[in-house]
Amino acid sequence: MQKSPESAHGAVKPAFLALPVGLLPSGVIFDVVYLLTGRPVWAQTALWMIAAGIGCALIAAVFGFIDSFSLPAGSRTKRSCVAHSAIDLGIAVVFAVSLLLRRSDPALAAPTSAMLLGFFGIALHLVNVHLGGELLREMGVGLVPVRARVPSSALERAATRDARSRS
């Protein structure tokens, strides 16, 4: 049986949302580890973490773009979603520039400018993770709707229990 794109979207999206949150800051952390140890493997790892984080962020952006069409135009939720998306793309650009600055020799430490961009990217990332969490928690945007996560039998039991408690 083949899954529909909508069901695949629900299963794949959480992974691509979480990966950049871990990969991009990890790249900067590995830069610091390289500076402390002098071992080239950490500089290489930082480069690959940032490259993977950018790729996952761009894939997550596609899912966010698709989700944005379901939001009412002019609403606070839509404005927050657009701001979140714009910051996401800004973060990807900041880390992409940082990645380009590293390309001369991946086995060497990133130039200071690349590291500073990484720290700036992390600061933007923290702001955006908060905004994304607000979209999810307070506005119900993203991932899988609560009703879809709860098996129907559990919903039926809860409805029966509520009906009994009222009588």
> What is the pTM for the complete model shown?
0.73
Do 162 and 28 meet the contact criterion of CB atoms below 8 Å apart? Answer: no
Torsion sign over Cα 109, 112, 117, 120? positive
Place of tokens 């700036």: 120
5-21 residues labelled b (16+ CB within 10 A) or e (exposed): eeeeebeebeebbebbb
Of 30 and 67, the structure prediction assigns the larger pLDDT to 30
pLDDT at 78: 83
Q: State the DSSP code for 74.
A: T
Mean pLDDT, residues 87-110: 85
Q: Give percent above pLDDT 70 in the chain.
A: 71
Tell me if 56 sits within 8 A of 64, measured CB to CB.
no
Cα separation of 165 and 160, whole Å?
Answer: 9
Tell me: pLDDT of 5 over 60. Answer: no
Tokens of 109: 């430490």
CB 7 within 8 A of CB 145: no
Average predicted confidence (pLDDT) for the chain: 78
Q: What is the mean pLDDT of residues 21-44?
A: 91
Q: What is the distance between the alpha carbons of residues 135 and 143, in angstroms, rounded to a whole number?
A: 10
Q: Three-state SS for 44?
A: helix
Pick the more confident residue, 137 or 129: 129
Cα-Cα end-to-end distance for the chain: 44
pLDDT digits (tens, 9 = 90+) for 139-160: 666 654 444 444 445 545 555 6
- pLDDT recorded at residue 151: 46
Read off the tokens for 79.
């404005």
- Contacts of residue 47, defined as CB under 8 A and 6 or more positions apart, other chains included, come to 27, 99, 102, 106, 110
